[in-house]
Amino acid sequence: MDKYQLIEKLIREGYIRRKEVAEAMLKVPREEFVPEELRPYAYEDRPLPIGRGQTISAPHMVAYMIEAAGVKRGDKVLEIGTGSGYNAAVLAEIVGPEGKVYTIERIRELAEKAKERLEKLGYGNRVKVFVGDGSKGLPQFAPFDKIIVTAAAKEIPMELVEQLKPGGVMVIPVEDWGGQVLLRVIKGKDGKVIVERLLPVMFVPLLSGTEE
């Protein structure tokens, strides 16, 4: 499958609903974000290992989470779990030069590789990569329009909810009855929080602390 067939499939299956999401995913070269030996599988709709027990999410999940959060041009977005940097690159394409993407990775080696890759591909001015504990977010850069978490938390981290702007949205997988469920957390203009259950998922766990 090539990238065009993949995007057509995701549109057909309803994961991609907006033109800007399709265009962003067509523009970002996913093969640059996977290990050399896995490049032939870059446009298959499945997660792939990127080392250190981490994965690059399946393209349908990347699209689904971005659509669920409603990321748009000009947004200031916080991503928890940089991984390979692929998701941050797609987000950068959507938010455009008026927006900004802040992304946190707890494993220093992955963060450094992702930063290097993003800079090489021209996203360095739009994406800032940090090494840190994602569950704490980046309060010094808050508030954010959107927060996307790519690791499963035991419960919704209130520190992240606090870093959402009124009217902001967070999409996060959370442990649930022995499995995981993807939640959409909407912070109303009045600060009231609404939580919507979206679908069952499977992500690596959201861990505290950092690793070299």
DSSP 46: S
Per-residue CA distances from 55 to 63, 86, 115, 159 (Å): 16, 11, 17, 25
- The residues, any chain, with a CB within 8 Å of residue 150's CB and separated by 6 or more, are 57, 65, 79, 80, 81, 83, 87, 173, 203
Are the CB atoms for 173 and 195 separated by under 8 Å?
no
Q: Is 208 designated active site? A: no
Q: What does pTM read for this prediction?
A: 0.96
Collect the ranges in the chain with pLDDT lower than 50.
Answer: none
Are the CB atoms for 103 and 130 separated by under 8 Å?
yes
Domains and CATH numbers, the chain: 47-57+65-200 (3.40.50.150)
Catalytic pick from 57, 84, 135, 208? Answer: 57
Single out the residue of 185, 170, 103, 183 nearest to residue 141, CA to CA.
Answer: 103
Rounded Cα distance between 147 and 167, Å, is 12
Are the CB atoms for 69 and 46 separated by under 8 Å?
no
